[in-house]
Structure 1
């Protein structure tokens, strides 16, 4: 053990943090920490190996995520006191569609209370626009990466027929898998993924992911991945397939086998994740966040989905915005929450979508109509309801989408209003998209953000997607 003055000072600070942590725990919580330490020692192979044991936890915006992190920190510091060494903890902060300022502030308070920033055994990462980098209150992804993420996200909305439940539904798991794969393989890699996601939910997610892979590969069921690490890699590649929908498909690959990632389920060890008490107060989570939602680790924000659903109700179904948004909000939250009023919801949600993807409300409404598919079947309806001043330009809009000469301002208007490039709009217009892509879009479009089956809405999907079940499969 290195006894430099700096290390001695840090050791003293960590002891104080541990004492403060344990002082804010009740007897049952402290017992859970002891069980957690024993479990991690066994999995690592004993005290002599605990210093080389690398773990990852997905950290969301809910109370359970904060409490799990507190238990892990208490176990990490306790093992260091007892065995002069401890496990490495990699924390991936993620949220779909993105991290808003209130969530980041809550994370900062939690991380500060646990003194995570200056411990070399702790690595804080943040997912942003599909990219993983060091945790920061500033954007992680570069502007061109955010532009690519916005384009892929909006394109998927058009592919799925414009339904918000598709745009902000099961597809989010592919995006989550993409950043999880990056976090698992960064640096020296990870030995174990720590989770308190209930067993039934884990099995459901694994089965759904394997079903998505089976739909677009030629792998026999027995050849499909069983491990979380390999599955995350496969789903990451499906995410890329969607992002590059107009590109020539490349065979799905699998990295050379390494040490198999362990999934360590801790829900049987930690019995008090729903009753934080004083510990919640220490972490700044006694009031909770206004968006604790379905899905593992509170990783999904319901406000943007409620906003997109309200716009869909207003412009497509010609109903009241509030009725549509409120119904969507109440469907996905886990407990009764105060309902944001009127413009407050729209403003908050739109700010989050703008910050996450750079997507404007005009572009959201455009993808809700999905006006370019099937030779522009809904283009006239879109223009009449949302851009009536452009009715005179309808013939030119069709000419632009058909690849025929038309005025430059018409093309620029189409690109601005949709967030897509001209080649993508023309492919949607002509239905010139791979049938295999339709299979994947159809599968994703059947499940909401909690992976619950959505009501059939085949008529909302473009014809190429509805016929995807008859398509062939590309090689894997």
Structure 2
């Protein structure tokens, strides 16, 4: 049997298996989207050479999107004898657990993507792009970069959830698109589930940030997607200069956003008007056909492709317990309140909200979750609890403003060395033993600690800081009210998370 005949038969069998899991609306979307792609390719004659890319994080929504694109690819092949080339690009970072890779692998098997020459599945680990493999090792240098960014963001923001884990990651997503979309000749179009209104809002917000930084936004606007990436590269450089300070040229270069090249520019094709992202509308497709599992490290509150939100909850508990003189569970409860509000805002079904909150339902569950978060912090970021607690105190910023407090509560044996530590952090002295101790408790090299010492914590009530402006434009936050045992008064605090 020749390859074309075998492929045609396999396509028909697979689509026949897949179709019962697609709603009437999904099947309509497949037909309409297929027609749009034929038009975008300039007719059937250009379809076989048309290259389409979709970003796949491994979560429930992107799994649904990949399924619809595969169904469209099969539909066109069966209906017209030709179809488009599909590039599926998966960006990894340290917060992506192995359970997410397992979900991706099950989806790829279910959709018969392995071995299909019309499909390429890529894993993008920062600057390294490789074909997808279920157990592909995560590069140690990318893990180290992610770890460093978490610590530096965390120390400048006292461990606030979104800046600590998401700001650097979001800039890395922009770099990912620049690399994946132009890799090996590039693609003709990138599929997005965002509406045109959402795309415009995002573009406008980015350009406003860029303009305040003095970038040439008119030139960026003229260049479309590449211009957006150029604006984001400028924002990334300004962000990391603000975060890291002087003396980190190599780190700044490593964190540049790839802006593609002049050989071509992919179009953006939205499927927002064709699909429903209510997971209840395609529950059987996700859980039965694709074999998607909402496991401990593959589902954390609003995320089904990243375990970092679990760490955000853990950090809130540690702050309450170690810094604020309250209990771990009180801090945890505050974060769960925020997470539940965010899940309802995203219109997640009750069954998933209950699934996300169930592990925290009783004392044993909370203790187990704390242990799981501790274990994940160690495996994903090489961070132990002492280093996470140190981050909550942020003892090094503003010339070590809270260093005395940190030592008295966590390391009283070193209170007598306070002035020696100030001299070391301020660069007036060298002390190999104290330097080693600082590295152990903070997880950071001395050069980074000295940078923190020279910088103030981020004031989120001011828009003078780019880091503060980024959080101001982020909807993933809410106000919590807590009792301060030291003063006896209620404190209103703005907390961010996922």
TM-score, normalisation: structure 2: 0.78
Counterpart Cα distance in 2 of 1:7 and 1:364? 56
Corresponding residue number in structure 1 for 2:433 = 409
For residue 33 of structure 1, report the CA deviation from its aligned partner.
Answer: 1.4
Q: 1:431 to 1:68 in 2, by over 3 A?
A: closer
Corresponding residue number in structure 1 for 2:268 = 263
> Over aligned residue pairs, what C-alpha RMSD do you find?
3.4
Q: 1:228 to 1:414 in 2, by over 3 A?
A: same
Equivalent runs, 1:28-39 vs 2, <5 Å = 28-39=25-36
Does residue 332 in structure 1 map to residue 342 in structure 2? Answer: yes
Would you say the 8 A contact 1:313–1:321 is kept in 2?
Answer: yes
1:55 corresponds, among 22, 30, 52, to: 52
SS at match of 2:114: coil
Equivalent runs, 1:108-119 vs 2, <5 Å = 108-119=105-116
Corresponding residue number in structure 2 for 1:81 = 78
**Structure 1 unaligned blocks of 5 or more:** 456-476
For residue 377 of structure 1, report the CA deviation from its aligned partner.
Answer: 0.4
Would you say the 8 A contact 1:175–1:239 is kept in 2?
Answer: no
Corresponding residue number in structure 2 for 1:439 = 465
Corresponding residue number in structure 1 for 2:282 = 276
Would you say the 8 A contact 1:28–1:272 is kept in 2?
Answer: no
1:345 corresponds, among 369, 372, 388, to: 369
Corresponding residue number in structure 2 for 1:304 = 311
SS at match of 1:136: coil
For residue 383 of structure 1, report the CA deviation from its aligned partner.
Answer: 2.0
Corresponding residue number in structure 1 for 2:134 = 137
Q: 1:26 to 1:158 in 2, by over 3 A?
A: closer
SS at match of 2:55: strand
Does residue 397 in structure 1 map to residue 394 in structure 2? Answer: no
Would you say the 8 A contact 2:94–2:146 is kept in 1?
Answer: no
Would you say the 8 A contact 1:316–1:368 is kept in 2?
Answer: yes
Would you say the 8 A contact 2:123–2:131 is kept in 1?
Answer: yes
**Structure 2 unaligned blocks of 5 or more:** 360-364, 458-462, 481-498
For residue 61 of structure 1, report the CA deviation from its aligned partner.
Answer: 4.0
For residue 42 of structure 1, report the CA deviation from its aligned partner.
Answer: 1.4
Would you say the 8 A contact 1:363–1:419 is kept in 2?
Answer: yes
For residue 49 of structure 1, report the CA deviation from its aligned partner.
Answer: 1.0
Corresponding residue number in structure 2 for 1:470 = none
Would you say the 8 A contact 2:154–2:391 is kept in 1?
Answer: yes
Counterpart Cα distance in 2 of 1:188 and 1:218? 29
Structure 1 stretch displaced more, 313-322 or 134-143: 134-143
1:291 corresponds, among 281, 296, 300, to: 300
For residue 107 of structure 1, report the CA deviation from its aligned partner.
Answer: 1.5
Corresponding residue number in structure 1 for 2:9 = 12
Counterpart Cα distance in 2 of 1:194 and 1:389? 58
Equivalent runs, 1:38-187 vs 2, <5 Å = 38-94=35-91, 98-128=95-125, 132-139=129-136, 141-187=138-184
**How far does the alpha carbon of each residue in 1:85-109 deviate from its partner, in whole angstroms, 9 at most, with x for none?**
2212122224665211222222211
Would you say the 8 A contact 1:97–1:300 is kept in 2?
Answer: no
Structure 1 stretch displaced more, 370-379 or 120-129: 120-129
**How far does the alpha carbon of each residue in 1:317-338 deviate from its partner, in whole angstroms, 9 at most, with x for none?**
3332223234323243344233
For residue 5 of structure 1, report the CA deviation from its aligned partner.
Answer: 4.1
1:358 corresponds, among 373, 382, 385, to: 382
Would you say the 8 A contact 2:229–2:258 is kept in 1?
Answer: no
1:216 corresponds, among 213, 222, 225, to: 213
**How far does the alpha carbon of each residue in 1:24-48 deviate from its partner, in whole angstroms, 9 at most, with x for none?**
3344432221112112111222111
Corresponding residue number in structure 2 for 1:316 = 323
For residue 376 of structure 1, report the CA deviation from its aligned partner.
Answer: 0.5
